[in-house]
Structure 1
């Protein structure tokens, strides 16, 4: 895998940034040099065609987990369509498990995940009354 494409995945599709589907990614990518944009295009084309690239490989690059190769490749195809074929919406990666709120004892409240602007899940303590 080409280093510039790896850098794109690690930077823009990682656990922190990958859930921001507000529409910034395509215009941001298009501000880069033509050679960089072509490198990203070719990287996606290679991954989509590569049957050996799976969820573990993607997680090592982005910290985002996919349940299976089919779900990952569907996401990669949808991302390619968003970036290069004018698909109207950036795809959302799969929801990741919510983590417990540190120091929370669980007696008087519960922990649940909520979706905030941009779709990034955050653990939230909800106090029972």
Structure 2
């Protein structure tokens, strides 16, 4: 099984970090709560939902990038810019079911299929990211704008694409595969329906996919083939982990 440490490093347009352990723990607590409540392995929350509005979002995280408008200063040095998380920030959590969930242990409770408490979720990655720039906001973008307003697909599939198939976690898909069948049945159904729709109908262009995931594909054919492989990997026991372009 291909793992992240066997692949070249992958980076998005922003380098980000939490500014304190306290801010990271707050984010993890809120994202885990959202994951369990909504049956969502890759919840995404706006900063203000966790830290409060305006100044409450300051000092929680840092994001830095090279200014695309003026990459170099007059002296030839790289011109870095910092994101303003008080304007718009997003918190991404990517989780996977633990090897034995509480719901599985209690075989008599059919309504407990899938993770039911914190111990049932293992964290794959957790990170802050700026929002409100030119890309799609996975929390607010209408499903219709992505061609995803179809039966069986909901906001969780947008989160799956932006989080699990996004630049920060796409190379960790092998970790999810190990216990994906222990996820909530309704979540699996949503991901199955969404992937089938993307492969069959190709509603998203490669530019839209990049705006949502920061993963660039050379063309529509390559994107479709990759998503078909993701479907086969998660639902049809395809052996090799699909690897997105660098």
Task: Give the TM-score of the pair, scaled to structure 2.
Answer: 0.36
| Residue of structure 2 aligned with 1:8, choices 160, 179, 188 | 160
Q: Distance in 1 between matches of 2:179 and 2:205?
A: 27
Aligned length: 94
Matched, 1:18 2:182: no
CA distance in 1, matches of 2:171, 2:236: 20
Which residue of structure 1 aligns with residue 245 of structure 2? 94
State TM-score, norm by structure 1.
Answer: 0.67
Extract structure 1 runs of 4+ deviating beyond 2 A: 27-31
- 2:185 — aligned with what? 34
Superposition map of 1:1-129 within 5 A: 1=148, 2-21=154-173, 23-95=174-246
1:50-71 deviation digits (Å, cap 9, x = unpaired)? 2332211211221100010000
Q: Which has the larger radius of gyration?
A: 2
Select the structure with the greater relative contact order (CA < 8 A; seq sep ≥ 6): 1
SS class of match (1:64): coil
User: Whole-Å Cα distance in 2 between the matches of residues 51 and 64 of structure 1?
Assistant: 16
Distance 2:192 2:211 in 1: 20
